[in-house]
Amino acid sequence: MSENQIYTLTVNGSQREVKDSWIGESLLYVLRERLGLPGAKGACEQGECGSCTVMMDGAAVCSCLVLAASAVDADIKTVEGLAPDGSLTDVQQSFINNGAVQCGFCTPGLIVAIHNLLDSQPNPSELEVREAISGNICRCTGYGRIFAAVQDVIEQRGATR
């Protein structure tokens, strides 16, 4: 695959053509600038902050560290694909209820990381929650309300199981 070649990514269940791009672009850049999916945020561009977190083949990864052209066979899910258009996931609603969003820049990455955790471990310990979001940096909240939001989701999901 060379410069400006068109390739196709599978994002949120749809086949999306990537055109007029430089072949060395990160998945984060392609999602935001080529495919109109600005949910994942770009901050550090080196995998330190987690604001660009997306799901790729079932694992939460930093999309800034994925060469988009190498991800043609991968199943990619962004924060936009977690719930049907216009609706919120239980994690997103819990963030609102708990005031876990301040500037909001880290929020999409945190939402993806928390869904990833709760999908594989429905009843995590506090330590496991802390570990799961240790790669997502929030400079506003001090994390207290984020932990409260996660705890609420754990309890709600437990009650409906």
Partner 1 sequence: MTVHSPRTIDQAVTLLEKYPSAMILSGGTDFMVEVNFNHRKPSQVVSTRAIEELRQWNIDHDTNSIFIGAGVTYSTIESSDIAQAAPALAEASRTVGSPQIRAAGTMGGNLGTCSPAGDTLPVFAALDAKILLASNAGRREVSFADFMVGPKKNSLLAGEMVLGVSLPIIEGWQGYAKVGVRNAMVISIASACLVRNASDDSVRVALGSVGPTIIRARAAESWWLDQGAPRSSSEMHTEFGARCAAEASPITDHRSTAEYRRHAIKVLCTRLAARSTSR
Cβ closer to partner 1: 96 or 130?
130
- Binding string, residues 116-135; x marks residues near partner 1 by CB under 8 A: ---------------xx-xx
Helix, strand, coil tally for the chain in percent (to 5): 40, 15, 45
Cβ closer to partner 1: 14 or 134?
134
- Does 37 bind partner 1 (CB under 8 A)? Our answer is no
- The Cβ-side half-sphere exposure at 63, using a 13 Å CA radius, reads 33
Shortest reach from residue 102's CB to partner 1, in Å = 21
Strand residue runs (E) in the chain: 7-11, 14-18, 53-56, 59-62, 75-77
Of 32-40, 46-54, 81-89, 145-153, the segment contacting partner 1 by CB under 8 A is 46-54
Distance in angstroms (rounded) separating the CA atoms of residues 79 and 68: 17
Shortest reach from residue 115's CB to partner 1, in Å = 13
- Does 46 bind partner 1 (CB under 8 A)? Our answer is yes
Helices (H) then strands (E): counts for the chain = 5, 5
Radius of gyration of the chain (CA): 16
Would you tell me which residues interact with partner 1 (CB under 8 A)?
A: 1-3, 22-24, 26, 45-48, 50, 53, 59-62, 64-67, 69-74, 113, 131-132, 134-136
